[in-house]
Structure 1
Amino acid sequence: MPNRTVGFIGLGIMGLPMAKNLLDAGYRVVGHNRSEEPTEELVAHGGEDGHSPAGVAERSDVVLVCLPDSPDVENVVLGTGAKADPVIDGVTEGMTIIDHSTISPTVAESVADRLADEGVSTLDAPISGGESGAIEGTLSIMVGGPEDVFDEQIDVLDVMGETITHCGPSGAGQTTKACNQIVVSAQMVAVSEALVFADNAGADLEAVVDAISGGAAGCWALDNRAPSMIHGDFDPGFFAEYQYKDLRIATDAGEAFGSPMPQTALVHELYKTMVQNGMGRDDNSGVMQVYERLSGSEARVDK
């Protein structure tokens, strides 16, 4: 039976199933979320309500954070946006904060530096795998931070992830996640473009998906999203607005590091179009709808 208490802040589409998996693995879990309903669901599953970010930290040995964007992490963890009772107000020397949010690598480094002043270790550990991966405990977790801290926390990470990789010092996890999002979003756009093209050409969409999935074009997006896309099912496993945010982080980092990103810039604009047209809460595979609007027809098969 694990003898550490895990705090979990941010019980959203990813965070809540991750926290439940920790409970199922025998950890005591103290949670907090901005809205009350997810915290109530965690409590019903055997968790405890920490009532505030600081309250969670006060009752935990390690605190996991899963929030939407860089300002949210700075606000909730450090209180930079005048957030009441931030995590930093409840920490004690020797504890660890693991941030599963996808944020700027430079922000990850600055948060780690500030927490280090309090004697607190930090891992930036963004995740990939969508809601299904969070539920099944098969996430890919990309970790930046001190290797000894990574080794200390690997048992916690193992509960939630299948592929867990130490990528380097603080910020390296976020840099790796940016690389992940560059590839994932490019796949989604390529699959969308191919499916709309196939439909316009009169091909059988299910046959096209089956045929190309088994060849050199095979990829996660084809296997896990294309079957839903051709049925117009864009229920979110990962919100398109979050994909847009992640691409903004990637392009900003590309600018800062002088790295060329012509394809990522185009993909970024397509996801911006989704958000501006009220589709930001659709799944990120819903970028296919942008192509459909450009084409003037829907690429669909009968359910």
Structure 2
Amino acid sequence: MSDKTIGFVGLGIMGLPMAKNLLDAGYPVVGHNRSDEPVEELVDYGGTDGGSPAGVAEESDVVLLCLPDSPDVERVVLGDENETDPVIDGLSEGMTLIDHSTISPTVTETMAADLEEVGVTMLDAPISGGEQGAIDGTLSIMVGGDEDALDEHRDILEVTGATVTHCGPSGAGQTTKAANQIVVAAQMVGVSEALVFADQAGADLEAVVDAISGGAAGCWTLDNRAPNMIQGVFEPGFFAEYQYKDLRIATDAGEAFGAPMPQTELAHELYKTMLQNDMGRDDNSGVMQVLEMMAGKEVTDG
């Protein structure tokens, strides 16, 4: 068993399997979540209930976060009127906080500076690979911040990630994740358009996917999502509402940095339409449903 105790705050669709993998690897894990059920599952698996974000930090050598959005991370780490036991109250000088959430690069930079003032190092380490990647321990982890701190804790990250890449200073991990989500959304929308188009033309969709997957159109979405998309199955591996949030982060950053994003702006609007039609908890591949509505026909209608 490792002598490094890991705190994990945010035991959701990604965080809980990551925490379980750390337990499997021999690390003691102390956890906290806004709802109780995931904490109970972690405890049943061999972890410990930290009681609060501050309680997790007090019992840990390094703290990991996996939370939905920038305001959630700011609240849980720094506290507000709704969070009276934030992580920062349990941190001590010399500790490291590793944030696996996908949040704004500028928020990350500000928070890292706030933590540095109390002697705590922050690494922004957003993840890609979906729920299955979290379960399998094959996530891609994009890290911004001090490279020496990354080297010190690389053993932890390599339990949950197949690739761990240092991308630059604080905020660079979040910038890289935004770039990742730009490409992911483009794939999801592109495959959706292709499938709806092929269906409208009367083609055999399974044959279409088989034919184009081996050529220049081959991509992760065709390999991992197209079979379910053809069947109209959109059980979440990554919530559409999170994809929408990530695209909002990307487009806001694009505005701040003066980067043109015409395709990403379109994807952003399509995912917004999903949320407006109560599809936010579907998989992000469910954006195909928006194109089906535009076509006036579901692919699975035959």
Query: TM-score category by the smaller chain?
Result: over 0.9
Deviation at 1:83, TM superposition (A): 1.2
- How big is each residue's C-alpha offset from its partner over 1:193-226, in whole Å with a ceiling of 9 and x where there is no partner? 0000000000000000111001000000000000
Query: Do the aligned partners of 1:231 and 1:301 also contact (CA within 8 Å) in 2?
Result: no
Query: Do the aligned partners of 1:144 and 1:169 also contact (CA within 8 Å) in 2?
Result: yes
Deviation at 1:82, TM superposition (A): 4.2
Query: Do the aligned partners of 1:254 and 1:260 also contact (CA within 8 Å) in 2?
Result: yes
- Give the Cα–Cα distance (whole angstroms) in 2 for the partners of residues 192 and 208 of structure 1: 13
- Give the Cα–Cα distance (whole angstroms) in 2 for the partners of residues 120 and 94 of structure 1: 5
Q: In the alignment, which residue of structure 2 is the partner of 1:175?
A: 175
Deviation at 1:152, TM superposition (A): 0.4
Greater CA deviation, 72-81 or 192-201?
Answer: 72-81
Q: Among all aligned residue pairs of Structure 1 and Structure 2, give the percentage whose two residues are the same amino acid.
A: 77
Deviation at 1:2, TM superposition (A): 1.4
Alignment partner of 1:228 is 2:234 = no
Aligned-pair RMSD on alpha carbons? 0.9
Give TM-score, length-normalised by structure 1: 0.99
Alignment partner of 1:117 is 2:142 = no
Alignment partner of 1:292 is 2:292 = yes
Q: Structure 1 residues 191 and 256 mapped into 2: Cα distance closer, same or farther (>3 Å)?
A: same
Alignment partner of 1:2 is 2:5 = no
**Map of 1:36-55 to 2, 5 A cutoff?**
36-55=36-55
| Counterpart residue type for residue 78 of structure 1 | L
**Map of 1:237-276 to 2, 5 A cutoff?**
237-276=237-276
> What SS is found at the alignment partner of 1:300?
helix
Q: In the alignment, which residue of structure 1 is the partner of 2:192?
A: 192
> What SS is found at the alignment partner of 1:163?
strand
| Counterpart residue type for residue 276 of structure 1 | Q
**Map of 1:21-170 to 2, 5 A cutoff?**
21-80=21-80, 82-170=82-170
Structure 1 residue ranges without an equivalent (≥5): none
- How big is each residue's C-alpha offset from its partner over 1:122-165, in whole Å with a ceiling of 9 and x where there is no partner? 10000000000000000000000001001001000000000110
How many pairs does the alignment contain?
302
| Counterpart residue type for residue 261 of structure 1 | M
Deviation at 1:81, TM superposition (A): 5.1
- How big is each residue's C-alpha offset from its partner over 1:251-281, in whole Å with a ceiling of 9 and x where there is no partner? 0000000110011000000000000110000
- Give the Cα–Cα distance (whole angstroms) in 1 for the partners of residues 35 and 201 of structure 2: 47
Q: In the alignment, which residue of structure 1 is the partner of 2:212?
A: 212
- How big is each residue's C-alpha offset from its partner over 1:15-35, in whole Å with a ceiling of 9 and x where there is no partner? 000000000000000000000
